Structure 1
Amino acid sequence: MTQPATPAPRRSADSVSWGVRVAAAWSWRFVVVVGALVVLGTVLARLSEVVIPVAVSLLLAALLTPAVGWLQARGVPRGIATALVLVGGIALLGAVLTFVVQAFINGVPDLVDEVSASVDSVQQWLVNGPLNLKQSQIDGAFTSFTTSLTTNRDAITSGALSTAATLTQILSGLAIALFTTIFFVYDGARVWEFVTRVVPRHVRPRVDVAGHRGFASLVGYVRATVAVAAVDAIGIGVGLAVLRVPLALPLAALVFLGAFIPIIGAFLSGLVAVLIALVTQGFVVALIVLGVIVAVQQLEAHVLQPVLLGRAVQLHPLAVVLAIAVGLVVAGVIGALLAVPMVAIANAAVRSLLADEAPPDPAQVDATDPDDALPDPEHPQDD
C-alpha cells in the first residue's frame, strides 16, 4: 500500500497576499527614491551659492542663445556673436537699471512729501474723526516706536551686517552666473556632449534628444515670459502714469521683474503700486489701480498664458501653481523663480524619454516646433 505524499512545507512569504506584496515592492522603491531625492536636495542646498547662479545662467543662456544663432547664421563667427550678444545685453540691462534708479531717486522726494502729508491727514482724522483720540496718545505711540528702535539697535545693526554679507554673496553669485553664461552661450553644445558621456552608450542618443528638447522648452518659456512680463509692465505702467501715481516707471519695472514668477509675481508686485497709490492719492485711486492690475492679470491668464506659455511649456496651470508653491517653500523667491522653468525642462525631457518611437537625429530636429526644437543647432565653433 502506497504512502500518501507529504505536502511541501509552505513558506512564510506564501501566506502574504498578492496585494500586500505589490504594496511592499512599491513602498521600498518609493523609500529609496525619496531618500535619493533628499540626499540630492541636501547636496544642492549646501552648494546653493553655486547651484543658483548656474541655474540663473541657464535661463540667461536660453534667452541669449537664439540671438547668437541668428548672428552666426548670417556669417558672424560664433565667438564674435557671443561677445556682441553678451556685451549688448549687459549694456541694455545697465541702461535700463540706470534709468529706473534715476527715476526712483528723482521721485522719492515728492513721494516723501506726499507720505508726510498723508500721515498728517491721518493724524488729524484720528484726533477729529469718529475715533476722537487725544494728541497725547498719538505722541505716546510715536515715542514708544522711537524707544523700540533705540532698544533694538544692536539687532538692527546685526541685520545690516547680515545684509552686507548677503550683498557679498550676491556679487559673487553674479560673477559665477556671468562666467557660466559665457560658456553656456558660446560652447553649450560641447558642454552638453560632455554631460551625456556619463550615460550608457546605448541610451545616449535618446538622452541627447531629451536634453535638446528640454532646453528648447526652456527657450520657449523664457521668450514667452519676457513677452508676458512686458505686456504686464506696459499695461500697469500706463495705468499708473494716467492716474499720476508717483514712481510709475520704477513700479512698472518692478512689475516686469515680478512677472517672471508666473501667475502670482506680477499681482504681488502690483500690490506695491496699490499701496503707494493709497498713501499718496487716496482710496479711490488705489481702487482704480487695483482694477487695472486685475484687468491686466485677466488678460494674462486668459490670453497670454494659454497662447504663449501654454505652447512653450505644455504644463497644466495646477502644475505651475504647485511648482511655484514648492519652490517658494524650499528656496524662497529664487525657488519660485526657478521652479516653473525647471519643471518645464523636466516635463519635455521625460516626455521625450518615454516616447515609443526611435529617437531622431538631433541635427534633423525641426527648430520651429517646440516638441522637436533644439536649443542650439550644430554650428561650427569658428572664431
Structure 2
Amino acid sequence: MLPQPPSRQPSGDNAFQAIWRNPYIRAATFLLLLYLAYLVLGSVSHIVVLAVIAYIIAYLAHPMLVWLEKRKINRAIGVLLTVILIFGLIVLASGLLVTIFNQLSDLIQRLPALTKEFLTQPWFNNLADRFPPLSSVRDQITKISQNGAAGLQQYIQPYIDTVLPYLKANSGALFGGVLSVASIVGEAFAVLIMSIYMMLDYDKLGLNFLRLFPRTWQPFVLDLSKNVGQAVGGYLKGQLIIAAFVGIFIGVALSIAGIPSAPAIGFIAGVFNVVPYLGVVIGITPALLLAASAGGVVKLIVVVVVFVVANQIEGHLLSPMVLGRTTNLHPVTVIIAILTGLTLMGITGALLAVPLAALGKLLLQEYYYPSRVYKDGP
C-alpha cells in the first residue's frame, strides 16, 4: 500500500478566506463594526454635529460658488465673498430680530388675555348660544391656552429674556452679545473654519469619501450619493426658499392689514414652515387672536385669507416649481411622514421625515422597481 502524502495545512490566508465565506461571520462582523461606529459617534456626537453644520453651510453655498467660477472668479475669492455675505445678512437681520423677539415676548405674555377676549366676542357668544357644543369647546380652548402660555413662558421666555438685551445693546451687530460666551465663540469659529475649508475643497470631499469603499462598490455609491443629494439636498434647499417666502409674505401682508406683531407672526410661520404646512398651522393661531382684539370679524377674515393664499401659493406654485421632482410626494404621504417623525423623534423627526420619505421614494424608483426581485419575485 502506497504511503499517503502528508495533508497540506491551509495557509493563514486560505483559512481566513474559508471563515470569511461564512455569511454569519460576515454579518456578525458588520454588526460589530456598526456597533463600534455607534459608540465612537456617540462619544464625539457634539463634534459630529458641528461638522454636519459646517458641511450644510458648504453645501448650500456650493451653487453660488460654482456660479461665480463660471464668471472667472477664483474659488478662494468666492468663498471670501460668501463669508462676507453671510456676516452681512446676520448683521442686517439683527435689527429686525430685536423687534421680533420683543413681539414674541409680548405675544407669549398676552396669549391668555387674547384668548379670553376672542372667546368673549359677541359674535362668538351668539354662535355658542346657537350651538351648545361650542360652549364646552370654549372652555377647553381657554384651558389649553392658559396651560400653553404657561409652558411657553416657562421654556421660551427665559431664552428671549437672555437674548434680547444682547440684541438691544448690539442692534447693528448680532455677535456683540454672543462674543461674551467663550464656548459659543469657539464652536462658531470651528464651524466657520471647517465650512471655509469644505467650501474650498468641496469636490475633493466627495472623492475622498468615495475612496473609502472598495472599487467594485464605487459606481453604486457614486450613483446613490447623487440620488441622496437630489432628494435630501434638493429638498432642504427648496424648503428653505419656500419657508423664507412664506414668512416674508405673511409678515408683510399682516403688516399691511394692520395686524399687531405681524413681523413676529411672519417669523414664526417662516421658521416652522421648514416642516411643510406646520408654519401656516402654528402661525394662524396667534394671528387670529390678535386680529380679534384689533378689529373683529373683518380682520379675522383678512387673516384667514392671508394664510389661505400663502398656503395655496406654497402648495400649487412654489413647491412644484422649486422642489420639482425632488420630492413629488402626495400631501397625504407628507402628513403621515411628519406625524410619524413627530411620534418617533419629536421636532427633529418632523424635520427629517419629508426628506427621508422623498429619499425612500427615489430609492424605490431607481433601484427596487427596476430590479429582478420586484419584476420576477423573490
Unaligned runs of 5+ in 1: 1-31, 131-144, 150-155, 358-383
CA positional deviation for 1:300: 1.6
Q: Tell me which amino acid in the other structure corresponds to 2:98.
A: Q
SS in 1 for 2:84: helix
Partner of residue 349 from structure 2, selected from 318, 335, 358: 335
CA distance in 1, matches of 2:111, 2:214: 65
SS in 2 for 1:245: coil
Listed one character per residue, the Cα deviations across residues 85-119 of structure 1 (whole Å, up to 9, x for unaligned) are: 122123213312x1322333676899799989969
1:49-198 correspondence to structure 2 within 5 Å? 49-96=46-93, 98-104=94-100, 177-198=191-212
Shift of the 110–267 alpha-carbon distance from structure 1 to 2, 3 Å rule, reads closer
CA positional deviation for 1:68: 0.8
SS in 2 for 1:201: coil
Contact 1:206 1:353 (8 Å CA) reproduced: no
Contact 2:114 2:289 (8 Å CA) reproduced: no
CA distance in 2, matches of 1:332, 1:169: 27
CA positional deviation for 1:240: 0.8
Listed one character per residue, the Cα deviations across residues 14-67 of structure 1 (whole Å, up to 9, x for unaligned) are: xxxxxxxxxxxxxxxxxx999999998888677653444444444433321100
Partner of residue 306 from structure 2, selected from 289, 292, 317: 292
Listed one character per residue, the Cα deviations across residues 339-379 of structure 1 (whole Å, up to 9, x for unaligned) are: 3335545655675566979xxxxxxxxxxxxxxxxxxxxxx
Q: Tell me which amino acid in the other structure corresponds to 1:187.
A: D
CA distance in 2, matches of 1:41, 1:269: 38
CA distance in 2, matches of 1:209, 1:191: 16
CA distance in 2, matches of 1:184, 1:278: 50
Q: Tell me which amino acid in the other structure corresponds to 1:100.
A: L
CA positional deviation for 1:226: 3.4
CA RMSD, Structure 1 to Structure 2 (Å):
4.9
SS in 2 for 1:246: coil
| Alignment TM-score, normalising by the size of structure 2 | 0.60
Contact 2:118 2:289 (8 Å CA) reproduced: no
Query: Which residue does 1:307 correspond to in 2?
Result: 321
CA distance in 2, matches of 1:119, 1:317: 31
Q: Tell me which amino acid in the other structure corresponds to 1:76.
A: I
Partner of residue 262 from structure 2, selected from 248, 263, 270: 248
CA positional deviation for 1:195: 1.7
| Alignment TM-score, normalising by the size of structure 1 | 0.59
CA distance in 2, matches of 1:269, 1:170: 30
Shift of the 334–116 alpha-carbon distance from structure 1 to 2, 3 Å rule, reads closer
Listed one character per residue, the Cα deviations across residues 158-181 of structure 1 (whole Å, up to 9, x for unaligned) are: x969x99xx999777655544443
Contact 2:104 2:264 (8 Å CA) reproduced: no
CA positional deviation for 1:225: 1.9
Q: Tell me which amino acid in the other structure corresponds to 1:251.
A: I
Unaligned runs of 5+ in 2: 1-28, 127-145, 163-180, 372-378
SS in 1 for 2:217: helix
Relative contact order, higher structure (CA 8 A, sep 6+):
1
SS in 2 for 1:202: coil
CA distance in 1, matches of 2:51, 2:236: 16
Query: Which residue does 2:177 correspond to in 1?
Result: none
SS in 1 for 2:254: helix
Shift of the 168–271 alpha-carbon distance from structure 1 to 2, 3 Å rule, reads farther
1:259 aligns with 2:273: yes
